[in-house]
Protein backbone atom coordinates (compact mmCIF):
# COMPACT_ATOMS: atom_id res chain seq x y z
CA UNK A 1 0.00 0.00 0.00
CA UNK A 2 1.61 3.20 -1.27
CA UNK A 3 0.06 5.36 1.45
CA UNK A 4 1.67 3.30 4.18
CA UNK A 5 5.01 3.36 2.37
CA UNK A 6 5.16 7.14 2.28
CA UNK A 7 3.64 7.69 5.72
CA UNK A 8 5.98 9.24 8.27
CA UNK A 9 6.80 6.92 11.15
CA UNK A 10 6.73 8.20 14.71
CA UNK A 11 10.53 8.08 14.78
CA UNK A 12 10.73 10.14 11.60
CA UNK A 13 8.34 12.68 13.14
CA UNK A 14 10.58 12.96 16.19
CA UNK A 15 13.65 13.39 14.00
CA UNK A 16 11.85 16.04 11.97
CA UNK A 17 11.07 17.93 15.17
CA UNK A 18 14.66 17.65 16.42
CA UNK A 19 16.05 18.88 13.07
CA UNK A 20 13.61 21.77 12.98
CA UNK A 21 14.57 22.91 16.47
CA UNK A 22 18.28 22.54 15.79
CA UNK A 23 17.92 24.57 12.58
CA UNK A 24 16.47 27.29 14.80
CA UNK A 25 19.45 27.09 17.14
CA UNK A 26 17.71 25.36 20.07
CA UNK A 27 19.47 22.92 22.41
CA UNK A 28 17.85 19.64 23.41
CA UNK A 29 17.40 19.05 27.14
CA UNK A 30 17.17 15.42 28.30
CA UNK A 31 14.01 13.59 29.26
CA UNK A 32 13.85 13.78 33.08
CA UNK A 33 12.65 11.14 35.56
CA UNK A 34 8.88 10.87 35.90
CA UNK A 35 9.31 11.17 39.65
CA UNK A 36 10.17 14.70 40.67
CA UNK A 37 13.10 15.43 42.89
CA UNK A 38 12.82 18.32 45.38
CA UNK A 39 9.40 19.33 44.10
CA UNK A 40 6.47 18.52 46.42
CA UNK A 41 3.90 20.04 44.04
CA UNK A 42 3.15 16.88 42.07
CA UNK A 43 3.65 13.11 42.19
CA UNK A 44 4.63 12.67 38.52
CA UNK A 45 5.92 14.93 35.77
CA UNK A 46 2.80 15.90 33.82
CA UNK A 47 4.19 18.23 31.17
CA UNK A 48 7.41 18.99 29.36
CA UNK A 49 7.88 22.35 31.06
CA UNK A 50 8.53 20.93 34.54
CA UNK A 51 12.32 21.12 34.42
CA UNK A 52 12.06 24.73 33.28
CA UNK A 53 9.95 26.48 35.90
CA UNK A 54 12.85 28.25 37.63
CA UNK A 55 14.28 29.38 34.31
CA UNK A 56 10.95 30.82 33.18
CA UNK A 57 11.22 33.01 36.28
CA UNK A 58 14.57 34.38 35.23
CA UNK A 59 17.27 32.00 36.48
CA UNK A 60 19.92 31.50 33.80
CA UNK A 61 19.78 28.06 32.14
CA UNK A 62 23.21 26.47 31.56
CA UNK A 63 22.21 25.45 28.03
CA UNK A 64 20.98 28.85 26.92
CA UNK A 65 17.76 30.68 26.14
CA UNK A 66 16.43 28.43 23.35
CA UNK A 67 15.61 24.89 24.43
CA UNK A 68 13.48 21.91 23.42
CA UNK A 69 12.68 18.41 24.66
CA UNK A 70 10.66 15.26 24.19
CA UNK A 71 9.38 14.47 27.68
CA UNK A 72 7.52 11.42 28.96
CA UNK A 73 4.54 12.48 31.12
CA UNK A 74 1.89 10.89 33.34
CA UNK A 75 -1.55 12.47 33.75
CA UNK A 76 -4.02 10.44 35.74
CA UNK A 77 -7.05 12.74 35.63
CA UNK A 78 -8.38 10.96 32.53
CA UNK A 79 -7.71 7.44 33.77
CA UNK A 80 -11.40 6.48 33.67
CA UNK A 81 -11.55 7.41 29.97
CA UNK A 82 -8.56 5.30 29.00
CA UNK A 83 -9.70 2.61 26.60
CA UNK A 84 -11.32 4.95 24.10
CA UNK A 85 -9.50 6.14 20.97
CA UNK A 86 -8.17 9.41 22.45
CA UNK A 87 -7.10 9.22 26.09
CA UNK A 88 -3.80 8.22 27.64
CA UNK A 89 -2.24 8.30 31.09
CA UNK A 90 1.35 7.84 29.87
CA UNK A 91 2.33 9.95 26.90
CA UNK A 92 5.13 12.06 25.49
CA UNK A 93 5.15 15.79 24.86
CA UNK A 94 7.29 17.66 22.41
CA UNK A 95 8.13 21.14 23.60
CA UNK A 96 10.20 24.22 22.94
CA UNK A 97 11.10 27.22 25.07
CA UNK A 98 12.30 30.73 24.68
CA UNK A 99 13.60 31.95 28.02
CA UNK A 100 13.24 35.67 27.56
CA UNK A 101 14.57 35.42 23.99
CA UNK A 102 12.11 35.42 21.04
CA UNK A 103 8.37 35.81 21.62
CA UNK A 104 5.17 35.47 19.58
CA UNK A 105 6.66 36.90 16.37
CA UNK A 106 8.92 33.86 15.98
CA UNK A 107 6.95 31.17 17.82
CA UNK A 108 3.67 31.37 15.90
CA UNK A 109 5.07 31.31 12.33
CA UNK A 110 7.49 28.56 13.42
CA UNK A 111 4.64 26.52 14.89
CA UNK A 112 2.77 26.66 11.54
CA UNK A 113 5.92 25.92 9.54
CA UNK A 114 6.72 22.85 11.66
CA UNK A 115 3.24 21.37 11.32
CA UNK A 116 2.61 22.20 7.66
CA UNK A 117 6.02 22.19 5.96
CA UNK A 118 7.82 19.60 8.08
CA UNK A 119 5.03 17.33 9.33
CA UNK A 120 3.00 17.70 6.13
CA UNK A 121 -0.39 18.64 7.61
CA UNK A 122 -2.95 20.28 5.33
CA UNK A 123 -3.12 23.99 6.25
CA UNK A 124 -6.76 24.03 5.12
CA UNK A 125 -7.61 21.83 8.09
CA UNK A 126 -5.83 23.96 10.67
CA UNK A 127 -7.59 26.33 13.12
CA UNK A 128 -6.12 28.35 15.98
CA UNK A 129 -7.33 29.91 19.21
CA UNK A 130 -6.09 32.91 21.20
CA UNK A 131 -6.92 34.51 24.57
CA UNK A 132 -9.87 36.88 24.26
CA UNK A 133 -8.92 38.90 27.35
CA UNK A 134 -10.08 39.53 30.90
CA UNK A 135 -9.22 41.80 33.84
CA UNK A 136 -5.67 40.41 34.11
CA UNK A 137 -4.57 40.56 30.50
CA UNK A 138 -6.13 42.16 27.42
CA UNK A 139 -7.26 40.37 24.26
CA UNK A 140 -4.22 38.96 22.50
CA UNK A 141 -4.45 41.22 19.43
CA UNK A 142 -0.80 40.66 18.69
CA UNK A 143 -1.41 36.93 18.12
CA UNK A 144 -4.60 37.61 16.14
CA UNK A 145 -2.70 39.88 13.74
CA UNK A 146 0.22 37.47 13.52
CA UNK A 147 -2.05 34.52 12.71
CA UNK A 148 -3.81 36.55 9.99
CA UNK A 149 -0.44 37.31 8.44
CA UNK A 150 0.71 33.69 8.72
CA UNK A 151 -2.46 32.29 7.13
CA UNK A 152 -2.08 34.83 4.33
CA UNK A 153 1.36 33.43 3.53
CA UNK A 154 -0.38 30.08 3.01
CA UNK A 155 -3.01 31.71 0.76
CA UNK A 156 -5.80 31.93 3.35
CA UNK A 157 -7.66 35.13 4.35
CA UNK A 158 -8.31 34.14 7.95
CA UNK A 159 -10.99 35.86 10.01
CA UNK A 160 -11.43 36.15 13.77
CA UNK A 161 -14.46 35.11 15.81
CA UNK A 162 -15.32 34.82 19.50
CA UNK A 163 -18.05 32.27 18.85
CA UNK A 164 -16.56 28.76 19.06
CA UNK A 165 -19.50 27.44 17.00
CA UNK A 166 -18.34 29.53 14.01
CA UNK A 167 -15.75 26.87 13.28
CA UNK A 168 -16.14 25.50 9.76
CA UNK A 169 -18.19 28.54 8.68
CA UNK A 170 -16.86 31.12 6.19
CA UNK A 171 -13.26 32.14 6.65
CA UNK A 172 -13.21 31.84 10.43
CA UNK A 173 -9.85 30.39 11.40
CA UNK A 174 -8.88 32.28 14.54
CA UNK A 175 -11.01 31.95 17.67
CA UNK A 176 -10.85 34.10 20.78
CA UNK A 177 -11.68 32.05 23.89
CA UNK A 178 -11.59 32.76 27.60
CA UNK A 179 -9.41 31.67 30.49
CA UNK A 180 -10.74 28.10 30.58
CA UNK A 181 -9.31 27.51 27.11
CA UNK A 182 -6.55 29.99 26.41
CA UNK A 183 -4.68 30.57 29.62
CA UNK A 184 -2.14 28.13 31.08
CA UNK A 185 -0.76 27.71 34.58
CA UNK A 186 0.13 24.60 36.56
CA UNK A 187 -1.44 25.41 39.90
CA UNK A 188 -2.83 28.30 41.90
CA UNK A 189 -0.27 28.92 44.61
CA UNK A 190 2.06 31.93 45.10
CA UNK A 191 5.03 31.71 42.75
CA UNK A 192 3.19 29.89 39.93
CA UNK A 193 3.93 31.21 36.47
CA UNK A 194 1.43 31.43 33.63
CA UNK A 195 0.01 33.43 30.79
CA UNK A 196 -2.27 33.53 27.77
CA UNK A 197 -1.78 30.86 25.14
CA UNK A 198 -2.53 30.05 21.53
CA UNK A 199 -3.58 26.54 20.56
CA UNK A 200 -3.71 24.81 17.20
CA UNK A 201 -6.48 22.41 16.17
CA UNK A 202 -6.74 19.95 13.29
CA UNK A 203 -10.05 19.16 11.58
CA UNK A 204 -10.52 15.37 11.56
CA UNK A 205 -13.44 15.72 9.16
CA UNK A 206 -15.78 13.68 11.41
CA UNK A 207 -16.76 13.62 15.07
CA UNK A 208 -14.44 11.01 16.49
CA UNK A 209 -16.27 10.90 19.82
CA UNK A 210 -19.26 8.64 19.17
CA UNK A 211 -21.05 9.99 22.24
CA UNK A 212 -21.21 13.59 20.99
CA UNK A 213 -24.41 14.82 19.37
CA UNK A 214 -25.55 18.27 18.27
CA UNK A 215 -23.58 21.23 16.93
CA UNK A 216 -19.79 21.22 16.99
CA UNK A 217 -17.53 23.88 18.53
CA UNK A 218 -13.80 24.32 18.15
CA UNK A 219 -13.27 23.54 21.85
CA UNK A 220 -15.82 20.79 22.59
CA UNK A 221 -15.53 17.05 23.18
CA UNK A 222 -16.83 16.00 19.76
CA UNK A 223 -13.36 15.01 18.65
CA UNK A 224 -13.91 16.77 15.32
CA UNK A 225 -11.26 19.43 16.07
CA UNK A 226 -8.26 17.95 17.81
CA UNK A 227 -5.82 20.12 19.74
CA UNK A 228 -2.31 19.48 18.42
CA UNK A 229 -0.18 22.05 20.20
CA UNK A 230 -0.15 24.91 22.63
CA UNK A 231 2.13 27.96 22.71
CA UNK A 232 1.96 29.56 26.15
CA UNK A 233 3.23 33.11 26.53
CA UNK A 234 4.51 32.89 30.08
CA UNK A 235 4.85 36.44 31.30
CA UNK A 236 3.11 36.49 34.70
CA UNK A 237 3.72 35.17 38.20
CA UNK A 238 1.27 34.83 41.12
CA UNK A 239 2.24 36.99 44.11
CA UNK A 240 1.52 36.28 47.81
CA UNK A 241 -2.06 37.54 47.43
CA UNK A 242 -2.60 35.44 44.31
CA UNK A 243 -2.55 38.46 42.02
CA UNK A 244 -0.75 38.16 38.69
CA UNK A 245 2.38 40.29 38.37
CA UNK A 246 4.56 40.73 35.28
CA UNK A 247 7.68 38.58 35.21
CA UNK A 248 10.97 40.24 34.43
CA UNK A 249 11.09 38.40 31.09
CA UNK A 250 8.63 37.22 28.42
CA UNK A 251 8.88 33.50 27.69
CA UNK A 252 7.46 31.00 25.25
CA UNK A 253 6.43 27.55 26.53
CA UNK A 254 5.24 25.28 23.75
CA UNK A 255 3.93 21.74 24.23
CA UNK A 256 2.24 19.20 21.98
CA UNK A 257 1.03 15.68 22.84
CA UNK A 258 3.07 13.32 20.70
CA UNK A 259 0.68 10.34 20.37
CA UNK A 260 -2.11 12.61 19.18
CA UNK A 261 0.17 14.41 16.78
CA UNK A 262 1.32 11.11 15.29
CA UNK A 263 -2.27 9.95 14.75
CA UNK A 264 -3.13 13.21 12.95
CA UNK A 265 0.00 13.02 10.78
CA UNK A 266 -0.54 9.32 10.04
CA UNK A 267 -4.19 10.06 9.19
CA UNK A 268 -5.86 7.71 11.70
CA UNK A 269 -8.60 8.65 14.14
CA UNK A 270 -7.55 6.15 16.79
CA UNK A 271 -4.28 7.04 18.54
CA UNK A 272 -3.81 3.30 19.15
CA UNK A 273 -3.78 2.70 15.38
CA UNK A 274 -0.42 4.48 15.02
CA UNK A 275 2.94 2.75 14.80
CA UNK A 276 3.53 3.79 18.43
CA UNK A 277 0.99 1.23 19.67
CA UNK A 278 0.78 -1.36 16.87
CA UNK A 279 3.64 -3.51 18.24
CA UNK A 280 2.10 -3.44 21.74
CA UNK A 281 -1.33 -4.33 20.38
CA UNK A 282 0.22 -7.20 18.44
CA UNK A 283 1.91 -8.47 21.56
CA UNK A 284 -1.36 -8.29 23.52
CA UNK A 285 -2.99 -10.32 20.72
CA UNK A 286 -0.32 -12.98 21.10
CA UNK A 287 -0.61 -13.10 24.87
CA UNK A 288 -4.39 -13.01 25.08
CA UNK A 289 -5.43 -14.93 21.98
CA UNK A 290 -7.90 -12.08 21.28
CA UNK A 291 -7.97 -10.12 18.03
CA UNK A 292 -7.78 -6.29 17.64
CA UNK A 293 -10.75 -5.43 15.45
CA UNK A 294 -10.20 -3.14 12.51
CA UNK A 295 -13.51 -1.45 11.74
CA UNK A 296 -14.58 1.35 9.44
CA UNK A 297 -14.73 4.98 10.54
CA UNK A 298 -18.54 4.81 10.36
CA UNK A 299 -18.57 2.16 13.07
CA UNK A 300 -17.08 4.48 15.69
CA UNK A 301 -19.26 3.34 18.55
CA UNK A 302 -18.68 -0.32 17.81
CA UNK A 303 -15.02 0.27 17.27
CA UNK A 304 -14.61 2.14 20.53
CA UNK A 305 -16.27 -0.65 22.53
CA UNK A 306 -14.56 -3.51 20.68
CA UNK A 307 -11.00 -2.50 21.25
CA UNK A 308 -11.47 -0.87 24.65
CA UNK A 309 -9.59 -3.46 26.71
CA UNK A 310 -6.74 -3.60 24.22
CA UNK A 311 -6.22 0.14 24.51
CA UNK A 312 -6.40 0.17 28.31
CA UNK A 313 -3.77 -2.56 28.56
CA UNK A 314 -1.61 -0.87 25.89
CA UNK A 315 -1.75 2.46 27.72
CA UNK A 316 -0.82 0.89 31.07
N1 LIG B 1 2.80 23.96 29.47
C2 LIG B 1 1.95 23.80 28.33
C3 LIG B 1 1.15 22.52 28.38
O4 LIG B 1 1.46 21.63 29.14
C5 LIG B 1 2.79 23.85 27.08
O6 LIG B 1 4.00 23.20 27.27
O7 LIG B 1 0.22 22.41 27.64
DSSP string computed for 20-82: HHHHTT-EEPPPPPSB-SS-TT-SB--STTGGGHHHHTTPPPTT-SEEEEEEEEE--TTGGGB
**Is it the case that residue 226 has pLDDT exceeding 90?**
yes
Q: What percent of the chain has pLDDT over 70?
A: 97
For a ligand 1 pocket test, name from 75, 95, 187, 256 the mutation site with the most ligand atoms within 8 angstroms of its C-beta.
95
The structure's pTM equals 0.93
Q: Whose CA is nearest to atom 2 of ligand 1?
A: 255
Q: Which residues contact 58 (CB under 8 A, 6 or more apart)?
A: 100, 247, 248, 249
DSSP class of residue 16? H
Q: Which residues pair with 194 in a beta bridge?
A: 185, 236
Q: Whose CA is nearest to atom 6 of ligand 1?
A: 255
Q: Whose CA is nearest to atom 7 of ligand 1?
A: 255
**Is it the case that residue 235 has pLDDT exceeding 70?**
yes
Furthest C-alpha separation in the chain: 61
Ligand 1 contacts (CB < 6 A) are: 47-49, 95, 184, 230, 232, 253-255
pLDDT tens per residue across span 62-118: 999 999 999 999 998 889 989 988 899 999 999 999 999 999 999 999 999 999 999
Q: Whole-number mean pLDDT of the chain?
A: 93
Residue 99, burial from CB neighbour count under 10 angstroms (0-12, 13-18, 19+): buried
For residue 285, name the pLDDT band (cuts at 50, 70, 90).
Answer: very high
Q: Ligand 1 centroid to 105 CA: how many Å?
A: 19
Q: Ligand 1 centroid to 9 CA: how many Å?
A: 24
Give whole-number Cα distances, 22 to 108, 226, 250, in Å. 17, 27, 22
Cβ atoms of 193 and 147 closer than 8 Å: no
Amino acid sequence: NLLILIMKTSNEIKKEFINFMEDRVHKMIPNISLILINDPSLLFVNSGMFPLVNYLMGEEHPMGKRLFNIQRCVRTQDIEEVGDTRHHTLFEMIGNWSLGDYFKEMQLPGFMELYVKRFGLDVNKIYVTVFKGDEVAPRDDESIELWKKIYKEYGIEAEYSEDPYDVGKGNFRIFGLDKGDNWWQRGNTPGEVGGPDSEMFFDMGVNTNPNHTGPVAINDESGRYVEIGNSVFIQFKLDENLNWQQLSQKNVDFGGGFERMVSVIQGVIDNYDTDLFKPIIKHIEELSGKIWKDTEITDLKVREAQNFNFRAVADH
